[in-house]
Amino acid sequence: MYLIALSALENSKAIKAEVLTIGNEVLTGRVVNTNAAYIARRLSLVGVSVKRITVVADNEEEIVAAVRESLSRKPEYLITTGGLGPTYDDISMAAIAKAVGLPLKKSDLALSWILQKIRSENAPLTPEREKMAYMPNPCRELDNPVGVAPGAWIEVGGGDHKTVIMVLPGVPSEMEAMFEKHLLPILVKEQRLFVAERELRITGIFEASLAPYIKNLVRADSALYVKTHPGGTVDKPSMLVHVEYASPNRQEAERKAEETIKAVKEEAQRLGATVS
């Protein structure tokens, strides 16, 4: 893989975000971190620059340290996933509250949501289920349209900078539903940059043959991102070229991305490649 630039969203105008995945199962490799991939992709498509993805264990000290470290970098959003369930190792909400210096209190609203869900299944309110109603105070409770565990929207800081910590469950279907309901509409309204993407398949030349040309393209325009993914064999090399262009103007982003992919196609053909 030949990395040409960091991202089309490496731009001072972009909203900055970080993702914190919490769970032993991810660190051991037993579970693939699809949550972070989903969030990063959805954020990128609405012009948000994902600056860092961190994974920590279900350990209070590590969660507290990771949250505080992220806040020190002052992203507009820190999105956490995992650790909101009823089991003994689901400690994320308490650890995040500790990290930001807020008390943990039982939320009547969160408890009402939990009761509604468990009563529909004729399940009792156990201490383990009631634990999911405890939230940092103050925060905005986030209902879970798919599962039981509520999330939280915590605002930290003030004045010139504020970070929103969005605390979401680790179950992918629940996380996705809550992300789409509670955060995505806000990001669309706040959108500062639009990202246009194009892709091209090239066969018959090596990645290194095209690299100098692509390097010159991205050096000439900081809003442009080009990445080549090599494949094929020594006898029949190939690559996938991915182009992104970020601009405050949607039409400009589309036009620049189209111009770039056309220019790359013409250069590849000049070098003797087949393009599709």
Percentage, residues of the chain above pLDDT 70 = 96
Q: What fold characterizes domain 2-190? A: Molybdenum Cofactor Biosythetic Enzyme; Chain A (3.40.980)
Task: Check residue 159 and give its pLDDT.
Answer: 78
Q: Which residues of 37-46 are buried (b: 16+ CB within 10 A; e: fewer)?
A: ebbbebbbeb
Reported confidence tier of residue 158, pLDDT bands at 50, 70, 90: confident
Fold of the CATH domain 194-275: Alpha-Beta Plaits (3.30.70)
Domain boundaries, the chain: 2-190, 194-275
pLDDT tens for 179-190 read: 999 999 999 999
Residue 97 has pLDDT above 50, yes or no: yes
What would the two tokens of residue 177 be? Answer: 């539903």
Domains 2-190 and 194-275 share a fold: no
Tokens of 228: 């080549």
Residue 260 has pLDDT above 80, yes or no: yes
pLDDT at 3 exceeding the cut of 60: no
* pLDDT digit string, tens, across residues 198-253: 999 999 999 999 999 999 999 999 999 999 999 999 999 999 999 999 999 999 99
pLDDT at 154 over 70: yes
Maximum CA extent, the chain: 71
Q: pLDDT, tens digit, for every residue of 102-114? A: 999 999 999 999 9
Tens digit of each residue's pLDDT (9 = 90 or more) over 68-87: 999 999 999 999 999 999 99
pTM: 0.90
User: In whole angstroms, what separates CA 149 from the centre of its chain?
Assistant: 21
Specify the pLDDT at position 114: 97
Confidence of residue 160 (pLDDT cuts 50, 70, 90): confident
Placement of tokens 């992104």 in the chain = 244
Q: State phi, psi for 151 to the nearest 5 degrees.
A: -110, -170
What pLDDT is recorded for position 2? 35
